[in-house]
Structure 1
Protein backbone atom coordinates (compact mmCIF):
# COMPACT_ATOMS: atom_id res chain seq x y z
CA UNK A 1 0.00 0.00 0.00
CA UNK A 2 1.17 3.53 -0.76
CA UNK A 3 0.88 4.79 2.84
CA UNK A 4 2.70 1.98 4.70
CA UNK A 5 6.10 3.46 3.87
CA UNK A 6 5.40 6.38 6.25
CA UNK A 7 4.69 4.43 9.43
CA UNK A 8 2.50 1.91 11.20
CA UNK A 9 -1.15 2.05 10.18
CA UNK A 10 -3.62 1.25 12.95
CA UNK A 11 -6.81 1.41 10.92
CA UNK A 12 -7.88 1.82 7.30
CA UNK A 13 -11.48 2.59 6.42
CA UNK A 14 -12.93 2.80 2.92
CA UNK A 15 -16.59 3.16 2.12
CA UNK A 16 -18.96 1.87 -0.53
CA UNK A 17 -21.74 4.42 -0.18
CA UNK A 18 -22.06 6.66 -3.22
CA UNK A 19 -21.43 9.80 -1.15
CA UNK A 20 -18.18 8.42 0.29
CA UNK A 21 -16.88 6.56 -2.77
CA UNK A 22 -13.26 7.34 -3.54
CA UNK A 23 -12.48 8.32 0.04
CA UNK A 24 -10.44 6.49 2.65
CA UNK A 25 -9.59 7.22 6.25
CA UNK A 26 -6.12 6.10 7.32
CA UNK A 27 -5.17 6.13 11.01
CA UNK A 28 -1.44 6.17 11.72
CA UNK A 29 0.04 5.25 15.09
CA UNK A 30 2.11 8.46 15.16
CA UNK A 31 1.09 11.99 14.16
CA UNK A 32 4.51 12.50 12.56
CA UNK A 33 3.82 9.57 10.21
CA UNK A 34 0.54 11.16 9.14
CA UNK A 35 2.26 14.52 8.61
CA UNK A 36 4.99 12.97 6.47
CA UNK A 37 2.43 11.08 4.39
CA UNK A 38 0.33 14.22 3.92
CA UNK A 39 3.31 16.28 2.75
CA UNK A 40 4.79 13.60 0.50
CA UNK A 41 1.61 12.33 -1.15
CA UNK A 42 -0.44 15.51 -1.56
CA UNK A 43 -1.38 15.60 -5.25
CA UNK A 44 0.22 12.20 -5.93
CA UNK A 45 -1.59 10.56 -8.86
CA UNK A 46 -3.61 7.55 -7.71
CA UNK A 47 -5.59 5.70 -10.39
CA UNK A 48 -5.21 8.72 -12.64
CA UNK A 49 -6.45 11.32 -10.12
CA UNK A 50 -4.38 13.48 -7.77
CA UNK A 51 -4.90 12.61 -4.10
CA UNK A 52 -6.28 15.34 -1.84
CA UNK A 53 -5.16 14.57 1.70
CA UNK A 54 -6.05 16.36 4.91
CA UNK A 55 -5.95 15.72 8.63
CA UNK A 56 -9.11 14.40 10.25
CA UNK A 57 -11.23 16.99 12.04
CA UNK A 58 -11.27 14.92 15.21
CA UNK A 59 -9.47 11.90 16.62
CA UNK A 60 -10.63 8.52 15.35
CA UNK A 61 -12.39 6.16 17.75
CA UNK A 62 -9.26 3.97 17.90
CA UNK A 63 -7.06 6.90 18.93
CA UNK A 64 -9.54 8.36 21.43
CA UNK A 65 -9.96 4.91 23.05
CA UNK A 66 -6.17 4.65 23.38
CA UNK A 67 -6.02 8.13 24.94
CA UNK A 68 -8.93 7.32 27.23
CA UNK A 69 -11.04 10.19 25.87
CA UNK A 70 -13.55 8.10 23.90
CA UNK A 71 -17.18 9.21 24.15
CA UNK A 72 -19.88 7.07 22.55
CA UNK A 73 -21.47 8.93 19.63
CA UNK A 74 -25.25 8.93 19.31
CA UNK A 75 -26.61 7.24 16.21
CA UNK A 76 -28.62 9.43 13.86
CA UNK A 77 -32.29 8.68 14.20
CA UNK A 78 -33.91 7.46 11.01
CA UNK A 79 -37.31 8.69 12.10
CA UNK A 80 -38.13 12.37 12.36
CA UNK A 81 -39.45 13.31 15.76
CA UNK A 82 -43.10 14.26 15.48
CA UNK A 83 -44.42 17.29 17.30
CA UNK A 84 -47.59 16.80 19.27
CA UNK A 85 -50.69 18.47 17.90
CA UNK A 86 -50.94 22.03 19.14
CA UNK A 87 -54.24 23.82 19.57
CA UNK A 88 -54.35 27.24 17.96
CA UNK A 89 -54.47 30.15 20.36
CA UNK A 90 -57.41 32.56 20.31
CA UNK A 91 -55.50 35.08 18.19
CA UNK A 92 -55.25 32.51 15.36
CA UNK A 93 -51.55 31.74 15.84
CA UNK A 94 -50.19 28.49 17.15
CA UNK A 95 -49.47 28.49 20.87
CA UNK A 96 -45.90 27.40 20.13
CA UNK A 97 -45.14 30.40 17.89
CA UNK A 98 -43.07 33.04 19.65
CA UNK A 99 -44.58 36.49 19.89
CA UNK A 100 -41.21 38.19 19.40
CA UNK A 101 -38.74 37.58 16.63
CA UNK A 102 -35.96 35.27 17.76
CA UNK A 103 -32.40 36.52 17.20
CA UNK A 104 -30.78 35.06 14.13
CA UNK A 105 -27.81 32.79 14.55
CA UNK A 106 -24.53 34.49 13.61
CA UNK A 107 -22.24 31.49 14.08
CA UNK A 108 -23.24 29.91 10.76
CA UNK A 109 -21.16 29.90 7.60
CA UNK A 110 -22.64 33.22 6.42
CA UNK A 111 -24.28 34.06 3.12
CA UNK A 112 -22.65 32.19 0.23
CA UNK A 113 -20.28 34.22 -1.94
CA UNK A 114 -16.92 33.79 -3.65
CA UNK A 115 -14.82 35.18 -0.76
CA UNK A 116 -14.00 33.13 2.32
CA UNK A 117 -12.86 34.41 5.72
CA UNK A 118 -10.22 32.18 7.33
CA UNK A 119 -9.56 32.80 11.03
CA UNK A 120 -7.80 31.14 13.99
CA UNK A 121 -4.62 30.84 11.92
CA UNK A 122 -1.91 29.81 14.40
CA UNK A 123 1.02 32.11 15.07
CA UNK A 124 4.01 31.17 12.95
CA UNK A 125 1.94 29.88 10.03
CA UNK A 126 3.56 30.94 6.78
CA UNK A 127 1.34 32.61 4.13
CA UNK A 128 2.53 29.95 1.67
CA UNK A 129 0.96 27.24 3.86
CA UNK A 130 -2.47 28.88 3.65
CA UNK A 131 -1.99 29.40 -0.10
CA UNK A 132 -1.13 25.69 -0.51
CA UNK A 133 -4.08 24.49 1.56
CA UNK A 134 -6.64 26.55 -0.36
CA UNK A 135 -5.07 25.97 -3.79
CA UNK A 136 -6.09 22.29 -3.53
CA UNK A 137 -9.50 23.51 -4.65
CA UNK A 138 -9.97 24.82 -8.21
CA UNK A 139 -10.69 28.46 -8.96
CA UNK A 140 -8.47 30.14 -6.34
CA UNK A 141 -7.84 33.78 -7.31
CA UNK A 142 -5.88 35.12 -4.34
CA UNK A 143 -5.20 35.01 -0.60
CA UNK A 144 -5.29 38.46 1.03
CA UNK A 145 -3.79 39.21 4.43
CA UNK A 146 -4.65 42.27 6.47
CA UNK A 147 -1.67 44.54 7.27
CA UNK A 148 0.02 43.88 10.63
CA UNK A 149 -1.88 40.67 11.33
CA UNK A 150 -1.38 37.06 10.33
CA UNK A 151 -4.20 35.40 12.32
CA UNK A 152 -6.82 35.75 9.57
CA UNK A 153 -7.00 36.03 5.79
CA UNK A 154 -9.50 36.49 2.98
CA UNK A 155 -9.49 33.81 0.31
CA UNK A 156 -11.07 34.70 -3.03
CA UNK A 157 -12.32 32.16 -5.56
CA UNK A 158 -13.62 32.75 -9.08
CA UNK A 159 -17.20 31.97 -8.08
CA UNK A 160 -19.47 31.04 -5.19
CA UNK A 161 -19.74 27.50 -6.61
CA UNK A 162 -15.97 27.10 -6.36
CA UNK A 163 -15.64 28.59 -2.86
CA UNK A 164 -18.29 26.34 -1.26
CA UNK A 165 -16.35 23.03 -1.51
CA UNK A 166 -13.28 24.70 -0.01
CA UNK A 167 -15.33 26.13 2.87
CA UNK A 168 -16.97 22.80 3.61
CA UNK A 169 -13.72 20.84 3.53
CA UNK A 170 -11.49 23.30 5.37
CA UNK A 171 -13.78 24.65 8.11
CA UNK A 172 -12.33 23.20 11.35
CA UNK A 173 -9.35 21.81 9.40
CA UNK A 174 -6.46 20.89 11.71
CA UNK A 175 -3.60 23.04 10.46
CA UNK A 176 -1.47 21.66 13.31
CA UNK A 177 -2.17 18.60 15.45
CA UNK A 178 -3.67 20.87 18.13
CA UNK A 179 -5.13 23.86 16.24
CA UNK A 180 -8.01 24.18 13.78
CA UNK A 181 -8.71 27.01 11.38
CA UNK A 182 -12.22 28.38 10.91
CA UNK A 183 -13.48 29.06 7.38
CA UNK A 184 -16.71 31.00 6.78
CA UNK A 185 -18.13 33.03 3.93
CA UNK A 186 -16.92 36.62 4.21
CA UNK A 187 -19.49 39.29 5.05
CA UNK A 188 -20.30 41.56 2.13
Structure 2
Protein backbone atom coordinates (compact mmCIF):
# COMPACT_ATOMS: atom_id res chain seq x y z
CA UNK A 1 0.00 0.00 0.00
CA UNK A 2 1.40 3.36 -0.97
CA UNK A 3 2.24 5.70 1.86
CA UNK A 4 0.25 8.92 1.97
CA UNK A 5 2.00 11.62 3.97
CA UNK A 6 -1.25 13.57 4.31
CA UNK A 7 -3.30 10.75 5.93
CA UNK A 8 -3.71 10.39 9.66
CA UNK A 9 -3.98 7.23 11.69
CA UNK A 10 -7.24 6.75 13.57
CA UNK A 11 -9.27 3.94 15.26
CA UNK A 12 -12.08 2.17 13.41
CA UNK A 13 -15.44 3.95 13.03
CA UNK A 14 -17.79 4.06 16.00
CA UNK A 15 -19.62 0.86 16.78
CA UNK A 16 -16.72 -1.32 15.77
CA UNK A 17 -17.62 -1.33 12.06
CA UNK A 18 -14.74 -2.21 9.76
CA UNK A 19 -14.23 -0.74 6.30
CA UNK A 20 -14.59 -3.34 3.58
CA UNK A 21 -11.72 -3.69 1.08
CA UNK A 22 -12.06 -0.95 -1.50
CA UNK A 23 -14.76 0.85 0.44
CA UNK A 24 -14.52 4.44 1.62
CA UNK A 25 -14.88 4.84 5.37
CA UNK A 26 -17.17 7.71 6.13
CA UNK A 27 -18.49 9.59 9.10
CA UNK A 28 -15.21 9.65 11.00
CA UNK A 29 -12.74 12.52 10.74
CA UNK A 30 -9.23 11.67 9.72
CA UNK A 31 -10.13 8.56 7.69
CA UNK A 32 -9.18 8.38 4.01
CA UNK A 33 -10.06 5.96 1.22
CA UNK A 34 -7.88 2.81 1.35
CA UNK A 35 -6.51 3.56 -2.11
CA UNK A 36 -4.81 6.62 -0.65
CA UNK A 37 -3.15 4.59 2.11
CA UNK A 38 -2.86 5.30 5.79
CA UNK A 39 -0.07 7.05 7.59
CA UNK A 40 0.83 9.56 10.25
CA UNK A 41 0.77 13.27 9.57
CA UNK A 42 4.23 14.56 10.48
CA UNK A 43 4.33 17.78 12.50
CA UNK A 44 5.57 20.81 10.61
CA UNK A 45 9.09 21.67 11.73
CA UNK A 46 9.82 25.24 12.85
CA UNK A 47 12.10 27.30 10.63
CA UNK A 48 14.62 27.56 13.47
CA UNK A 49 14.87 25.69 16.77
CA UNK A 50 12.68 27.66 19.22
CA UNK A 51 15.54 28.03 21.71
CA UNK A 52 18.25 28.85 19.17
CA UNK A 53 18.88 32.45 20.21
CA UNK A 54 18.58 31.64 23.90
CA UNK A 55 21.03 28.74 23.52
CA UNK A 56 23.52 30.87 21.60
CA UNK A 57 23.21 33.66 24.17
CA UNK A 58 23.91 31.21 26.99
CA UNK A 59 26.85 29.65 25.17
CA UNK A 60 28.57 32.75 23.81
CA UNK A 61 27.73 35.04 26.70
CA UNK A 62 30.48 33.30 28.68
CA UNK A 63 33.15 34.68 26.30
CA UNK A 64 32.25 38.37 26.47
CA UNK A 65 29.55 40.95 25.89
CA UNK A 66 27.17 39.88 23.12
CA UNK A 67 25.68 42.91 21.39
CA UNK A 68 23.36 41.07 19.03
CA UNK A 69 22.41 37.63 17.72
CA UNK A 70 20.93 37.35 14.24
CA UNK A 71 19.32 34.06 13.18
CA UNK A 72 17.32 34.18 9.96
CA UNK A 73 14.40 31.84 9.41
CA UNK A 74 14.41 31.75 5.61
CA UNK A 75 15.42 28.54 3.82
CA UNK A 76 18.65 29.94 2.34
CA UNK A 77 20.00 31.03 5.73
CA UNK A 78 18.60 28.18 7.81
CA UNK A 79 21.21 26.71 10.10
CA UNK A 80 23.23 29.94 10.20
CA UNK A 81 23.47 32.59 12.87
CA UNK A 82 25.60 35.67 13.55
CA UNK A 83 26.87 36.55 17.02
CA UNK A 84 28.10 40.12 17.49
CA UNK A 85 30.63 40.72 20.26
CA UNK A 86 31.76 43.97 21.79
CA UNK A 87 35.29 43.57 20.39
CA UNK A 88 37.33 41.26 18.20
CA UNK A 89 39.29 39.70 21.07
CA UNK A 90 36.07 38.32 22.51
CA UNK A 91 35.02 37.04 19.10
CA UNK A 92 38.37 35.33 18.57
CA UNK A 93 38.23 33.63 21.95
CA UNK A 94 34.68 32.43 21.28
CA UNK A 95 35.56 31.19 17.79
CA UNK A 96 38.47 29.10 19.09
CA UNK A 97 36.59 27.69 22.07
CA UNK A 98 33.36 26.73 20.29
CA UNK A 99 34.74 25.39 17.02
CA UNK A 100 33.04 22.02 16.54
CA UNK A 101 30.87 22.44 19.64
CA UNK A 102 27.78 20.19 19.33
CA UNK A 103 24.66 22.35 19.19
CA UNK A 104 21.32 20.57 18.73
CA UNK A 105 23.23 17.38 17.99
CA UNK A 106 25.46 18.77 15.25
CA UNK A 107 29.01 20.19 15.46
CA UNK A 108 29.21 23.88 14.66
CA UNK A 109 31.44 25.43 12.01
CA UNK A 110 32.46 28.83 13.35
CA UNK A 111 34.01 31.53 11.15
CA UNK A 112 34.49 35.28 11.17
CA UNK A 113 31.75 37.16 9.33
CA UNK A 114 32.82 38.78 6.08
CA UNK A 115 31.22 42.14 6.89
CA UNK A 116 30.60 44.21 9.98
CA UNK A 117 27.24 43.88 11.67
CA UNK A 118 24.67 46.66 11.85
CA UNK A 119 25.01 46.64 15.64
CA UNK A 120 28.76 47.21 15.40
CA UNK A 121 28.42 50.00 12.87
CA UNK A 122 25.73 51.75 14.91
CA UNK A 123 27.80 51.46 18.08
CA UNK A 124 30.89 52.95 16.40
CA UNK A 125 28.92 55.79 14.86
CA UNK A 126 27.08 56.57 18.09
CA UNK A 127 30.38 57.30 19.82
CA UNK A 128 30.96 60.33 17.58
CA UNK A 129 27.46 61.51 16.70
CA UNK A 130 24.11 62.34 18.17
CA UNK A 131 21.46 59.63 18.04
CA UNK A 132 19.69 61.33 15.11
CA UNK A 133 22.89 61.60 13.07
CA UNK A 134 23.78 58.01 13.95
CA UNK A 135 20.49 56.77 12.48
CA UNK A 136 21.20 58.70 9.27
CA UNK A 137 24.71 57.27 8.96
CA UNK A 138 23.52 53.74 9.65
CA UNK A 139 20.95 54.05 6.85
CA UNK A 140 23.69 55.30 4.52
CA UNK A 141 25.81 52.27 5.45
CA UNK A 142 22.90 49.91 4.80
CA UNK A 143 22.25 51.57 1.44
CA UNK A 144 25.91 51.18 0.47
CA UNK A 145 25.79 47.52 1.45
CA UNK A 146 22.64 47.00 -0.65
CA UNK A 147 24.35 48.61 -3.64
CA UNK A 148 27.40 46.38 -3.21
CA UNK A 149 25.17 43.30 -3.06
CA UNK A 150 23.34 44.44 -6.19
CA UNK A 151 26.70 44.79 -7.96
CA UNK A 152 27.76 41.29 -6.88
CA UNK A 153 24.47 39.89 -8.16
CA UNK A 154 24.94 41.71 -11.47
CA UNK A 155 28.48 40.30 -11.79
CA UNK A 156 27.17 36.78 -11.18
CA UNK A 157 24.50 37.21 -13.86
CA UNK A 158 27.08 38.56 -16.32
CA UNK A 159 29.39 35.60 -15.63
CA UNK A 160 26.57 33.10 -16.17
CA UNK A 161 25.46 34.84 -19.38
CA UNK A 162 29.04 34.78 -20.71
CA UNK A 163 29.48 31.09 -19.90
CA UNK A 164 26.14 30.26 -21.53
CA UNK A 165 26.98 32.24 -24.67
CA UNK A 166 30.42 30.64 -24.82
CA UNK A 167 29.04 27.11 -24.59
CA UNK A 168 26.40 27.80 -27.24
CA UNK A 169 29.03 29.30 -29.54
CA UNK A 170 31.38 26.34 -29.05
CA UNK A 171 28.57 23.92 -29.91
CA UNK A 172 27.70 25.94 -33.00
CA UNK A 173 31.34 26.03 -34.14
CA UNK A 174 31.61 22.28 -33.70
CA UNK A 175 28.44 21.72 -35.75
CA UNK A 176 29.72 24.01 -38.52
CA UNK A 177 33.13 22.39 -38.61
CA UNK A 178 34.97 25.52 -37.53
CA UNK A 179 34.56 29.23 -36.78
CA UNK A 180 33.05 31.45 -39.44
CA UNK A 181 34.77 34.76 -40.28
CA UNK A 182 32.81 37.76 -39.05
CA UNK A 183 30.42 35.67 -36.95
CA UNK A 184 28.42 38.14 -34.79
CA UNK A 185 27.78 35.45 -32.16
CA UNK A 186 31.40 35.33 -31.01
CA UNK A 187 31.39 36.02 -27.24
CA UNK A 188 33.67 38.79 -25.97
CA UNK A 189 37.18 37.80 -25.03
CA UNK A 190 37.63 37.30 -21.25
CA UNK A 191 39.99 40.28 -21.07
CA UNK A 192 37.13 42.48 -22.34
CA UNK A 193 34.95 41.64 -19.33
CA UNK A 194 34.93 43.75 -16.14
CA UNK A 195 37.62 42.71 -13.66
CA UNK A 196 34.97 41.72 -11.09
CA UNK A 197 33.43 39.28 -13.59
CA UNK A 198 36.85 37.91 -14.55
CA UNK A 199 37.48 37.13 -10.88
CA UNK A 200 34.32 35.02 -10.76
CA UNK A 201 35.21 33.15 -13.94
CA UNK A 202 38.88 32.62 -13.11
CA UNK A 203 39.25 32.66 -9.30
CA UNK A 204 42.75 33.60 -8.28
CA UNK A 205 43.83 34.38 -11.82
CA UNK A 206 41.54 37.06 -13.20
CA UNK A 207 42.77 38.39 -16.52
CA UNK A 208 43.91 41.86 -17.50
CA UNK A 209 45.02 43.47 -20.72
CA UNK A 210 48.31 42.21 -22.22
CA UNK A 211 50.05 45.48 -21.34
CA UNK A 212 49.25 45.14 -17.65
CA UNK A 213 49.92 41.43 -17.61
CA UNK A 214 53.44 41.85 -18.96
CA UNK A 215 54.31 43.98 -15.94
CA UNK A 216 53.15 41.43 -13.35
CA UNK A 217 55.25 38.21 -13.41
CA UNK A 218 53.51 35.08 -12.21
CA UNK A 219 54.25 31.36 -12.12
CA UNK A 220 51.11 30.88 -14.25
CA UNK A 221 51.19 31.87 -17.91
CA UNK A 222 48.04 32.88 -19.76
CA UNK A 223 47.83 31.76 -23.42
CA UNK A 224 45.63 33.52 -25.95
CA UNK A 225 44.88 33.35 -29.68
CA UNK A 226 44.83 29.54 -29.68
CA UNK A 227 43.00 27.80 -32.51
CA UNK A 228 41.03 24.53 -32.43
CA UNK A 229 43.89 22.87 -34.30
CA UNK A 230 46.25 23.43 -31.37
CA UNK A 231 45.76 20.49 -29.02
CA UNK A 232 46.68 20.05 -25.37
CA UNK A 233 49.43 17.70 -26.55
CA UNK A 234 50.91 20.45 -28.75
CA UNK A 235 51.00 22.85 -25.80
CA UNK A 236 52.51 20.27 -23.47
CA UNK A 237 55.20 19.45 -26.01
CA UNK A 238 56.14 23.12 -26.20
CA UNK A 239 56.05 24.08 -22.51
CA UNK A 240 57.03 20.81 -20.78
CA UNK A 241 60.59 21.05 -22.05
CA UNK A 242 61.23 23.95 -19.67
CA UNK A 243 62.24 23.36 -16.05
CA UNK A 244 59.51 23.47 -13.40
CA UNK A 245 56.62 22.62 -15.71
CA UNK A 246 53.55 21.47 -13.74
CA UNK A 247 50.48 21.35 -15.98
CA UNK A 248 48.40 22.70 -18.86
CA UNK A 249 44.93 23.89 -17.86
CA UNK A 250 42.33 24.22 -20.58
CA UNK A 251 39.18 26.32 -20.15
CA UNK A 252 35.88 24.45 -20.74
CA UNK A 253 34.01 25.96 -23.65
CA UNK A 254 36.96 28.08 -24.79
CA UNK A 255 39.44 26.66 -27.28
CA UNK A 256 41.27 30.00 -27.73
CA UNK A 257 42.77 30.33 -24.24
CA UNK A 258 44.64 28.14 -21.73
CA UNK A 259 46.90 28.36 -18.68
CA UNK A 260 50.39 26.92 -18.15
CA UNK A 261 51.69 26.58 -14.58
CA UNK A 262 55.28 26.30 -13.39
CA UNK A 263 56.61 25.55 -9.92
CA UNK A 264 58.35 28.90 -9.48
CA UNK A 265 57.82 32.38 -10.83
CA UNK A 266 61.35 32.77 -12.26
CA UNK A 267 60.84 29.60 -14.30
CA UNK A 268 57.71 31.05 -15.91
CA UNK A 269 59.55 34.33 -16.53
CA UNK A 270 62.30 32.43 -18.33
CA UNK A 271 59.76 30.65 -20.54
CA UNK A 272 58.03 33.87 -21.53
CA UNK A 273 61.37 35.56 -22.22
CA UNK A 274 62.67 32.76 -24.44
CA UNK A 275 59.44 32.22 -26.36
CA UNK A 276 58.59 35.96 -26.49
CA UNK A 277 55.04 37.23 -25.88
CA UNK A 278 54.00 36.55 -29.49
CA UNK A 279 55.27 33.07 -30.32
CA UNK A 280 54.90 31.37 -33.69
CA UNK A 281 53.83 27.89 -32.66
CA UNK A 282 53.19 26.90 -36.27
CA UNK A 283 53.89 28.59 -39.60
CA UNK A 284 51.75 31.74 -39.74
CA UNK A 285 50.11 30.85 -36.42
CA UNK A 286 50.95 33.17 -33.51
CA UNK A 287 49.91 32.60 -29.90
CA UNK A 288 50.02 35.22 -27.20
CA UNK A 289 51.87 34.38 -23.95
CA UNK A 290 51.25 36.60 -20.90
CA UNK A 291 51.21 36.28 -17.14
CA UNK A 292 47.93 35.45 -15.43
CA UNK A 293 46.81 38.11 -13.00
CA UNK A 294 47.46 37.35 -9.35
Q: Give the TM-score normalised by the residue count of structure 1.
A: 0.43
Higher relative contact order (CA 8 A, sep 6+): 1
Q: Give the TM-score normalised by the residue count of structure 2.
A: 0.29
Greater C-alpha radius of gyration: 2
Going by fraction, where is helix more abundant, 1 or 2? 2
